[in-house]
Structure 1
Amino acid sequence: MTTLYERALRVFPPVASRATKLGIVRAEGCWVYDENGKAYLDFASGVAVTNTGHNHPAVVQRAAEQMRQMIHVGHNVFYYEPYVQLAERLVEVTGGDTKVYFSNSGAEANEGAVKLVQYVTGRPEVIAFAHSFHGRTLGSLALTGSNAAYRRMYETALRRVYFARYPKPAPGEDPEEAVRASLESINDLFELQVSPDRVAAIIVEPVQGEGGYVIPPRSFLEKLRGICDEHGILLIFDEVQTGFGRTGHLFAYQTFGVKPDILTLGKAIASGFPLSAVIARQDLMDRWPAGAHGGTFGGNPVSCAAGLATLDLLEGGLIDNARAMGNYLVAQLRESLAEFQEVYDVRGVGLMVAVEFRDPGSGAELSDMVKEILARCEQGGLILLSCGPGKTVVRFMPPLIVDKKDIDQAVQVFRDSVAAAVRSVN
């Protein structure tokens, strides 16, 4: 039998390559099933999308009901119930002083946010951070600093964006010293490259995703908020990956207690249906006139219906489960991996959990070892992804419905895979 992977090679270009060669025919809860019927624990969650689990019955039911009623009429032509209702819910959960614009993807949301800040401030420049990821469309790619391969051959089309240092401590470095260095890098930009009165916004992931699941000290975001307030710069939080329960709160800004001016959302917002959002202070949104932004498919009725079901599930207990299971997962990983000197760090916030590998002698990144670990995990029925500049961080992002039994199984497979990879190197 010709596999889905073999068929795909004939019709897709190399740019459409995937993290695995698996062909998946069914997905349910925390599990996916391949063409041969083999089950895999999916701790990738469609890259942090299926926070409510695959095919949650409540999401499927809400979407199916909406499909029977109306699939598309165009949010730039009509208003309709799930579109307005989901926006009302999002305004409510972000403090009641915001407004919402719906798009299709996180990259679109980030581009929309940049258009908003440039329009309302009249300032042209934006500051982002090294190792950031904000999307791969040309506009969002200008903000992305996690991989030179993403930008190669497109440089002439990218807007002028300045990159500061994100506060990831070097081995043995005090986290607060990393914060100081990050803020100093912003001051250096102000002194040497761009006047702060020309900067429309600073865009930041409250927890870096593609850049290595880097969790900053709360003081970093607090002081970043202060810098923006001092210079009249708007603060954008890219919560495309951290939003919708992933960090143990509905949004990561709640986890850290620092509220941005603009929030971008995507991925888990509708449990797998294409949808994203820009949420910003009402006074900013009211200065963004008709015609300044738009799109055809944003706020699709079916996606919005799925988004409403997603919010119900998160507020109905999944956020609490993310905090509890996240703590359990980190504790189990630390205990099971304690014997391996190659494990540099186990860290997490909610169910956004990472294991970073470095050579115990030199501190060098262990990219090949991580590749082997992921391959062995796949053989053992566990799907994980890597991240970080050298792809030496393994990220755990299971659905928020995960329980201790699934975590125990995943940790055992991971530990066995790490042990085998370490043996093969030594």
Structure 2
Amino acid sequence: MTTTNQEQYLGPDEILRKKKEYMIPCVYHFYTEPMQLVKGEMQYLYDHTGKQYLDCFAGVSVVNCGHCHPEITKAVCDQVMTLQHTCTIYLTENIVNLAQRLSQITPGRLQKTFFCSSGTEANEGAALLASIYTGKQEFISLRQGLHGRTKLTMSLTGLSMWRTDTSPVGGISFAPNAYCFRCPYGKRHPECDLACANELETIIKTTTAGQVAAFIAEPIQGNGGIITPPPGYFKRIKEILDKYNILLIIDEIQTGFGRTGKMFGIEHYGVEPDIMTMAKALGNGTPVGAFTARPEIADTYTRPGASTLGGNPVTSAAALATLEVLTKNNLTAQAALLGEYLKQGLTELQKKHPLIGDIRGHGLMLGAEIVKPDKSPATEQLDRMLEEMKNRGFLIGKNGPDRNVMAFQPPLVISRDDLDNLLNNLADVLATMG
């Protein structure tokens, strides 16, 4: 895409004006000088002037198979032309085929699924299921975790930026996360003996009433700053949870479907969740969420339940096509290989530029924490870097509680040449930062 008729588009200034007048102001945007995106094609996005951008964020781990992948797009269009929507009160085929497919690829004994429309709903539903099964109402979450925007899921979120509810739900305790770069105990792995995981037992015994239904965690904390637990972390967590008969809910909303070089992020840790939540990449851009559980847990949810749009014929067709593309093209293995290549390139840059304080993650879910010489967050420097990279045609994410972590979560169809181009331009930008 090299030329466009700019007159057919509103343009960034008019979009910003309408946004300010008609949208709730919590809906924010990146960049001091934002562009209007009008087209996507695999790993690339295009603005209203025809400029091409390498998408290194994938809509926050959504379009793992690439923008407008032709096979997924065809499946969506074919379904829209035949049966667009009913509801789960009527029998349709796609939804049960998708549930069966998920039972084949999810870890361990996870088998039965409820479909909804978003990750927030999936986490809300998983928490409800945990309470139904256990008869308990308390929860434990991790600091810097993000689980949604409803009242309960926002209350389960351990990032102050996203906790906008002035009266959060009670009965929720927060455990320290495995943030090795800024260990709250001032220790180093493995000499630390997983002190952050061991603290979970203290929290259960001191800050709860002993009525904990579940512990919820992301295998890698996305918005929390690509916080990646060390080996053995989740096994220790699971040992403690089993001791107190507490369920483990794993939030795979950002980490799922090949993103980390495994089909699901928790597979890096050899632990079987009791309940798992999914969304984002499951539909490659169509609105779908799901939570899945072992049969003995799922079968306790017997009172009537439905999701008007969850798992409808179109989103289920999109998800089935997405899973076919992921497996047929072995994108999970590709994410592992290219992720290691990108991590090596970032490590070489780190040797020359101490502005990069830490590099972490698995597969194509990597974070580079940008810091000042005293290790404090270099938030303003990162903003300048991302603005300049955008001007050069690269869209990179940012996250973390101080918004100083550069997030690389591109479509899994990205190429090695794309990564070389990204690293070369990032080297140029880093060189201008002093």
Coarse TM-score class (shorter-chain normalised): over 0.9
Residue equivalent to 1:186? 200
Is 1:102 aligned to residue 102 of structure 2?
Answer: no
* Aligned residues of 1:384 and 1:396 also touching (Cα < 8 A): yes
* Aligned residues of 1:167 and 1:175 also touching (Cα < 8 A): no
Residue equivalent to 1:298? 310
* Aligned residues of 1:211 and 1:388 also touching (Cα < 8 A): yes
Change (3 A) 1:40 1:74: same
Between the aligned partners of 2:191 and 2:386, the Cα distance in structure 1 is 33
| Structure 2 residue runs without a partner (length 5+) | 1-6
Residue equivalent to 1:372? 384
Letter in structure 2 aligned against 1:161: I
Is 1:27 aligned to residue 40 of structure 2?
Answer: yes
Between the aligned partners of 2:402 and 2:60, the Cα distance in structure 1 is 18
Aligned equivalent of 1:150, options 162, 166, 177: 162
* Aligned residues of 2:389 and 2:395 also touching (Cα < 8 A): yes
Residue equivalent to 2:62? 49
Change (3 A) 1:69 1:412: same
What CA deviation, in whole Å up to 9, does each residue of 1:257-309 have, x standing for no partner?
A: 11110000011001000001101001100111132x43211112111101011
TM-score calculated relative to the size of structure 1: 0.94
Change (3 A) 1:28 1:416: same
Between the aligned partners of 1:290 and 1:351, the Cα distance in structure 2 is 40
Where 2:26 maps in the other structure, the secondary structure is: helix
Residue equivalent to 2:288? 275
Where 2:167 maps in the other structure, the secondary structure is: helix
Residue equivalent to 2:16? 5
Aligned equivalent of 1:38, options 40, 48, 51: 51
Between the aligned partners of 1:135 and 1:255, the Cα distance in structure 2 is 24
Where 1:407 maps in the other structure, the secondary structure is: helix
Letter in structure 2 aligned against 1:414: L
Residue equivalent to 2:127? 114
Is 1:323 aligned to residue 323 of structure 2?
Answer: no
Is 1:363 aligned to residue 375 of structure 2?
Answer: yes
Q: Please report how far the alpha carbon of residue 190 of structure 1 lies from its aligned counterpart in structure 2 after TM superposition.
A: 2.3
Where 2:351 maps in the other structure, the secondary structure is: coil
Change (3 A) 1:16 1:178: farther
Q: Please report how far the alpha carbon of residue 179 of structure 1 lies from its aligned counterpart in structure 2 after TM superposition.
A: 6.1
Q: Please report how far the alpha carbon of residue 32 of structure 1 lies from its aligned counterpart in structure 2 after TM superposition.
A: 0.6
Between the aligned partners of 1:255 and 1:397, the Cα distance in structure 2 is 17
Change (3 A) 1:100 1:399: same
Where 2:376 maps in the other structure, the secondary structure is: coil
Aligned equivalent of 2:403, options 365, 388, 391: 391
Between the aligned partners of 2:308 and 2:133, the Cα distance in structure 1 is 23
Is 1:213 aligned to residue 214 of structure 2?
Answer: no
Q: Please report how far the alpha carbon of residue 123 of structure 1 lies from its aligned counterpart in structure 2 after TM superposition.
A: 0.6
Aligned equivalent of 2:422, options 388, 410, 415: 410
Range with bigger deviation, 81-90 or 293-302: 293-302
Within 5 Å, which residues of 2 pair with 1:133-144?
A: 133-144=146-157
Residue equivalent to 1:250? 263
Between the aligned partners of 1:135 and 1:53, the Cα distance in structure 2 is 24
Residue equivalent to 2:319? 307
Q: Please report how far the alpha carbon of residue 157 of structure 1 lies from its aligned counterpart in structure 2 after TM superposition.
A: 4.4
Aligned equivalent of 1:163, options 174, 182, 200: 174
Range with bigger deviation, 228-237 or 12-21: 12-21
Q: Please report how far the alpha carbon of residue 178 of structure 1 lies from its aligned counterpart in structure 2 after TM superposition.
A: 5.5
Aligned equivalent of 1:14, options 8, 25, 30: 25
Q: Please report how far the alpha carbon of residue 254 of structure 1 lies from its aligned counterpart in structure 2 after TM superposition.
A: 1.7
Q: Please report how far the alpha carbon of residue 96 of structure 1 lies from its aligned counterpart in structure 2 after TM superposition.
A: 5.7
* Aligned residues of 1:142 and 1:160 also touching (Cα < 8 A): no
Runs of 4+, deviation exceeding 4 Å: none
Between the aligned partners of 1:16 and 1:38, the Cα distance in structure 2 is 25
What CA deviation, in whole Å up to 9, does each residue of 1:172-217 have, x standing for no partner?
A: 8412355633134322222322144x11000011111111101101
What CA deviation, in whole Å up to 9, does each residue of 1:7-56 have, x standing for no partner?
A: 43332232122124221111001111111111111111011100000000
* Aligned residues of 1:26 and 1:32 also touching (Cα < 8 A): yes
Between the aligned partners of 1:276 and 1:345, the Cα distance in structure 2 is 32
Where 2:232 maps in the other structure, the secondary structure is: helix
Between the aligned partners of 1:5 and 1:40, the Cα distance in structure 2 is 20
Aligned equivalent of 2:145, options 126, 129, 132: 132
Range with bigger deviation, 10-19 or 380-389: 10-19
Between the aligned partners of 1:120 and 1:348, the Cα distance in structure 2 is 33
Letter in structure 2 aligned against 1:69: T
Range with bigger deviation, 14-23 or 31-40: 14-23
Where 1:27 maps in the other structure, the secondary structure is: strand
What CA deviation, in whole Å up to 9, does each residue of 1:363-406 have, x standing for no partner?
A: 21111111111111111110011111111110101100111011
Aligned equivalent of 1:341, options 354, 361, 375: 354
Residue equivalent to 1:90? 102
* Aligned residues of 1:86 and 1:308 also touching (Cα < 8 A): yes
* Aligned residues of 1:30 and 1:398 also touching (Cα < 8 A): yes
Q: Please report how far the alpha carbon of residue 348 of structure 1 lies from its aligned counterpart in structure 2 after TM superposition.
A: 2.6
What CA deviation, in whole Å up to 9, does each residue of 1:48-83 have, x standing for no partner?
A: 1000000001100111111111110012x1121111
